[in-house]
Amino acid sequence: MVIGVFIFSGCNSRNDDLDERKFILKQESNWQLFVDDYWIAESTNVAATLHQPVKYPNNPLIRGDVPWEQAPYCFGTVIYDEEDSIFKIWYQSYNFDQPVETRTPVLYATSKDGIKWNRPNLGLFEFQGSSENNIVLQNYGHHDLYSPSVIKDTTDPNPKRRYKMIWWDFPLGEEGYQDDGMCVAFSPDGIHWEKYSDNPVLHANKSEQSISDVMSLMYDRNSGKYVAYTKGWAEPWPAFRQVVRTESKDFIHWSEPEVVITHKHDTHDPQSYGMTVAQIGNLYIGMISIYKKPGDETIDIQLTVSHDNRHWAHVANQATFIPNGSKGSWDAGMIFTAPLLNHDGKTLIYYGAWDGAHNSKTRNSGIGLATLRLNGFVSLDAGEKEGTVITNPIENYKGELFVNADASNGMLRAELVDDVTKKPILGYTIDDCNPLTKDGTAQNIYWQDNKELPSSGKRIRIRFVMKNASLFGFYAGQKVKCVKISN
């Protein structure tokens, strides 16, 4: 199939219809997104557009303006805690002029609106003679720690392990590639942490099957496993940086790391500096930090996508998703993201940034925010000439059909096609469909006599027809599956 060349947009689409079915807007819902070609069997007269998120105008939101937090950056995690109705962030700072024991603290802050952040006075760790700070973890005292990554785990029956953290450290102070590796800690509240007694749980080694010091954690709801994506090194070790993956059922015993993203190591495809991953239904969205060496040694963000949380593909021909800021700006040099999250009808991306490149001698950092239309990573766009998109066969569909689409300047309709006969299904044809003419992230597709998908259980295809409209994704039930037809 051909969907045309990628076009790039830096603007948010209007989002006037935040919808009747708010549960569907949640990240956990099984939305099928057109981030790649996975769902597309055929298309005509449509082009794919990668949408860059819009940076908040008053970034950075968190600045290095207290002694124990000289250079905050988002090797870290942001969540919206539904139970507590508040945003929570775990991040770290690099305090350049401090002794190693206090140079890289893990910090905690909260926010009601995701914009104004409060550093609670926790009184847990002393810094320069005072414990009035928001430090929740320090390193083992031998080396700088890196990349604290946190999840709130409601599946664990042990309340003392409700929150889980991984980070990179040297528990015994031995030389590199003997004692360093992935360390873990547990907490009942995300504030009081207990380090696992037998850290590190996964050691580093001088091979391609090894983790390294940039890592991010996620919980895969489909497999019921904890998954960490970390920086790794290509053979002959250490040729260049790439991405490796490891998983665990119990958070203590981790699988041998495997390479999931490598590079040509040239100016178009230089190397990576870690990747964060978020799960949207059965889809996994990765934001990979691209380290431009060879090149100018800046770091920006590209999108990757996976349908099994193991095999990954670049999006939009490796185009930039979050670009560096202009020269002299706070994020001109390097960008690292927390895993994205969906909240209140938007996709939120918190990111740490530096004003200098990787090879700069002095640089400053902060933490900011970029926002995107809810799940609005890539759209399929039709202009004045009518465009069509036909999906691969789907099964296990149920209930109503929703689309994330902007048809405010045109029209979008859909019909259902029998996968065997290839004919439109009676009562679900284009002529039966009520056209959409609005912009909304979860708009109902209705036919004259039908408001729900047929209950026959047969495999069907959806044929979208649109004009001057953009289609981001669809929802056809919590358990809908794509049937891949091999040629």
pLDDT digits (tens, 9 = 90+) for 137-157: 999 999 999 999 999 999 999
Q: What is the pLDDT of residue 20?
A: 42
Statement: residue 26 has pLDDT above 90: no
CATH 2.115.10.20 in the chain, residue ranges: 54-373
- 36, 167, 242, 411 from 323: Cα distances, Å: 21, 26, 20, 32
Contact 380, 471 (CB under 8 A): yes
| 47 token code pair | 């082009």
b/e sequence 51-84, b meaning 16+ C-beta within 10 Å: bbbebbeebbbbbbeeebbbbbbbbbbbbbeeee
Q: Among residues of the chain, what percentage have pLDDT more than 70?
A: 94
Q: What's the confidence (pLDDT) of residue 8?
A: 61
| 17 pLDDT more than 70 | no
* Length of the chain measured in residues: 487
- As a whole number of Å, the CA-based R_g of the chain is 23
**How does pLDDT run across 456-482, given as a tens digit for each residue?**
889 999 999 999 999 999 999 989 999
Residue 323's pLDDT is what? 98
The CATH classification of domain 54-373, taken from the options 2.40.110.10, 2.60.120.10, 2.40.50.180, 2.115.10.20: 2.115.10.20
Mean pLDDT score, 402-423 = 96
* Region(s) of the chain under CATH 2.60.120: 7-45+380-482
Q: Looking at residues 321-346, what average pLDDT do you find?
A: 97
What tokens were used for 406? 């902007």
Is the per-residue pLDDT at 485 higher than 80? no
| Domain 7-45+380-482 = CATH 2.60.120 | yes
Are 52 and 322 in contact by the 8 Å Cβ rule? The answer is: yes
29-84: pLDDT as tens digits: 899 999 999 999 999 999 999 999 999 999 999 999 999 999 999 888 999 999 99
For 356-390, what is each residue's pLDDT tens digit?
999 998 999 999 999 999 999 999 999 999 999 99
Determine the Cα–Cα distance for residues 402 and 18; give it in Å rounded to an integer: 12
Cβ distance 325 to 333 under 8 Å?
no
The C-alpha atoms of residue 322 and residue 333 are separated, in whole angstroms, by: 12
The helix (run of H) or strand (run of E) holding residue 383 is none
Strand partners, 88: 79, 110
What average pLDDT is seen over the chain? Answer: 93
Q: Could you tell me the pLDDT band of residue 336, with boundaries at 50, 70 and 90?
A: very high
Q: Which residues pair with 135 in a beta bridge?
A: 107
Nearest to 315 by CA among 52, 44, 108, 21: 52
In the predicted model, is pLDDT for residue 301 greater than 60?
yes
Report the alpha-carbon distance of residue 55 to residue 63 in Å, rounded: 16
The answer to whether the CB of 266 falls within 8 A of the CB of 280 is no
Check if the beta carbon of residue 127 is closer than 8 Å to that of residue 135: yes
179 or 303, greater pLDDT: 303
Cβ burial, residue 485 (10 Å; 0-12/13-18/19+)? exposed
- Copy the structure tokens of residue 183: 């360390």
Distances (CA, A) of 421 to 71, 391, 458, 486, 487: 62, 15, 11, 18, 18
126: enclosing H helix or E strand:
none
Give residue 13's pLDDT: 42
Backbone torsion region of residue 141, taken as left when φ is above 0, otherwise alpha when ψ lies between -120 and 50, otherwise beta: left
